[in-house]
Structure 1
Amino acid sequence: MVLIRDVLEADRRATLERLAALSGDFDRIVDASRDSNADDEHDPEGATIAYERSQLDALVQQARVHLTEVEAALARVEDGTHGTCERCGGEIAAARLEARPTARTCVTCPSR
C-alpha cells in the first residue's frame, strides 16, 4: 500500500530536483548573455535570450508554487487534516487525492 506521505515526499524530491535544474539553466542563460552585445531581439534564427529567460523564470516560479503546495500537504498529513476539505470540512474523495495529492478542497467546493 502506497502511503500519501510517500507520494508527497517523492513529489517534493522531484520538484526540488526540477527547481535546481531550471535555476541552473536560468543562471547559465544569464551568465552567457552578460558579456554579450548581440542584438538577439532582431535575430531571425529563433527565440530571443529575453524570451528564453522569461520562459525559464515562469517554469521556476511554477515549480516554487508547486513545492509550496506539496509542503502544505505534508503539513496537513502531519496534523491529521489531509483529506479534509478546507471550505466545508467534508472528506475529499480518495480518487481526487490520488489524482491530486495536494488537493485542499473537495470536488464540489471549488465550483461553488
Structure 2
Amino acid sequence: MIEVLKSKLHRVVVTEANLDYMGSITIDEALLEAAGMIAGEKVQIVDNNNGERLETYIIKGERNSGCICLNGAAARKVQVGDILIIISYALMDFEEAKHFEPKVVFPKSGNKL
C-alpha cells in the first residue's frame, strides 16, 4: 500500500478563523462534493501566504457559502484572506495507484465553483 493524493482544493481563500472552537476546518459543502471529500476526513492544509502546514479534519459548511474557516488552534496559523491548498490522501495498492486520477478543484473568486 502507498499513500497518494486523493483530492485537492487548490487556492481557496480563508473566510474565517475561529479560535473559540474545538478544532478542524469548516469547508463549503459544494466544494467538498466537487473534490470528493467528506466530513470527518483528515486533510493537510498548506498556507501559501506564510508557509504553515497542518493537519486536521473536515466539518461540512453551508452549501455555496464559500466558507473556509479554520477552527481552534489552527485559527492561529492563518489570517482571513490567506490562500490555502487543502489536500487529502488515500492508501491504495501500488498497481491501483498507477492508474488513479485524483480530483483537483480550482475554485473561482469567493471560493465558488
More strand by share: 2
Which TM-score band applies after superposition, normalised by the shorter structure?
under 0.3
Structure number with greater CO (CA < 8 Å, separation at least 6) is: 2
More helix by share: 1
Larger Rg: 1
TM-score scaled by length of structure 2:
0.22
* TM-score under structure 1 length normalisation: 0.22
